[in-house]
């Protein structure tokens, strides 16, 4: 049986207990659920600060941790999309409560008290989850004691209705391989963040998205919300004639004519592989 290593917590020396009998490993562990307590946390391919960034974890996300080493690296799997990798153990704690709200702004700040004049404790990106204990004037006070502007939060169950509009809010954001926030984002990260903001499940990488999302659509009949795929790349149609995508050509999230993007990427040696229409 073959498993995708990106979403399978299995190494030669260690694997999740639920994989016993399915994969070979020297030992198996149940894992412990931890909560991300920093705004944006890098998930790396290897336990090193200069290792490739594979994705990012956002404040409030749950991670099942299978190992923490002496160098301060935790190895685990994100609950949200199943991605596996290494992250700083200092960015994790045992969950204090269930999240009640999420950040609806592209980015907000968490303050140590009820004043915007105080130095921020952290910055929280769109989609970050917080457990609100009480409301205090214009702030929501979290269980962890942080003060977040109420205007920047929405109830956990509140969802956007147009994921294309969400993606368009990121226009100008720098391109960052593995990124998932307004500080830096890649093509599949943009698609995932936009779609999940609408309450829908979305895998992390473009090949996963191409395999899992929607139904085939005709390039000649594309419409707003269709996803265009190339090997290693995805773009979101804004209309029949334009798309929005995070890309290394512009080094940013940019709007581009559909025909121009297809021609430019084709000239670089990559042909359009499919068009998918989310259901």
Per-residue model confidence as pLDDT tens digits over 266-277? 999 999 999 999
Mean pLDDT of 60-75: 98
Q: What is the pLDDT, as a whole number, of residue 204?
A: 98
Q: Round to whole Å and give the CA distance between 101 and 11.
A: 35
Q: What is the pLDDT, as a whole number, of residue 220?
A: 96
Here the tokens at position 8 are: 């399978």
Dihedral angle over CA of 31, 37, 43, 46, nearest 10: -60
Percent of the chain with pLDDT strictly greater than 90: 99
pLDDT at residue 25 greater than cutoff 90: yes
Mean pLDDT of 141-168: 97
Question: Where do we find the tokens 């594979």?
Answer: 54
Q: What is the pLDDT, as a whole number, of residue 2?
A: 78
Percent of the chain with pLDDT strictly greater than 70: 100
109: which residues sit within 8 A by CB, 6+ positions away?
Answer: 116, 120, 121, 122, 123, 124, 148, 149
184: which residues sit within 8 A by CB, 6+ positions away?
Answer: 173, 174, 175, 176
Q: What is the pLDDT, as a whole number, of residue 279?
A: 83
pLDDT digits (tens, 9 = 90+) for 160-201: 999 999 999 999 999 999 999 999 999 999 999 999 999 999
pLDDT digits (tens, 9 = 90+) for 219-251: 999 999 999 999 999 999 999 999 999 999 999
Mean pLDDT of the residues in the chain: 97
Mean pLDDT of 148-166: 98
Mean pLDDT of 1-20: 94
pLDDT digits (tens, 9 = 90+) for 72-97: 999 999 999 999 999 999 999 999 89
Q: Round to whole Å and give the CA distance between 148 and 125.
A: 12
Mean pLDDT of 55-75: 98
Q: What is the pLDDT, as a whole number, of residue 1?
A: 62
């Amino acid at each position: 049986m073959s498993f995708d290593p990106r979403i399978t917590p299995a190494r030669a020396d260690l694997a999740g207990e639920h994989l016993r009998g399915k994969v070979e490993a020297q030992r198996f562990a149940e894992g412990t659920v931890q909560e991300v307590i920093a705004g944006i946390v890098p998930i790396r391919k290897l336990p090193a600060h200069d290792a490739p960034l594979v994705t990012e974890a956002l404040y409030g996300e749950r991670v099942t941790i299978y190992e923490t080493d002496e160098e301060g690296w935790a190895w685990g799997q994100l609950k949200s999309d199943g991605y596996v990798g290494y992250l700083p153990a200092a960015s994790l704690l045992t969950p204090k409560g269930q999240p009640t709200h999420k950040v609806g702004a592209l980015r907000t700040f968490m303050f140590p008290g009820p004043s915007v004049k105080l130095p921020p404790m952290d910055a929280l990106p769109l989609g970050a989850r917080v457990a609100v204990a009480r409301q205090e004037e214009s702030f929501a006070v979290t269980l962890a004691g942080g003060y977040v502007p109420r205007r920047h939060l929405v109830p956990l169950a509140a969802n956007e209705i147009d994921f294309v509009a969400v993606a368009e809010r990121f226009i100008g954001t720098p391109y960052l391989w593995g990124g998932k926030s307004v500080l830096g984002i890649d093509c599949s990260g943009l698609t995932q963040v936009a779609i999940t903001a609408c309450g829908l499940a979305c895998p992390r990488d473009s090949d996963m998205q191409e395999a899992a999302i929607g139904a085939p659509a005709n390039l000649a009949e594309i419409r707003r919300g269709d996803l265009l795929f190339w090997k290693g790349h995805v773009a979101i149609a804004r209309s029949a004639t334009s798309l929005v995508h995070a890309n290394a050509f512009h080094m940013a999230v940019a709007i581009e004519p559909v025909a121009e993007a297809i021609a430019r990427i084709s000239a670089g040696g990559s042909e359009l592989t499919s068009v998918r229409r989310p259901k």
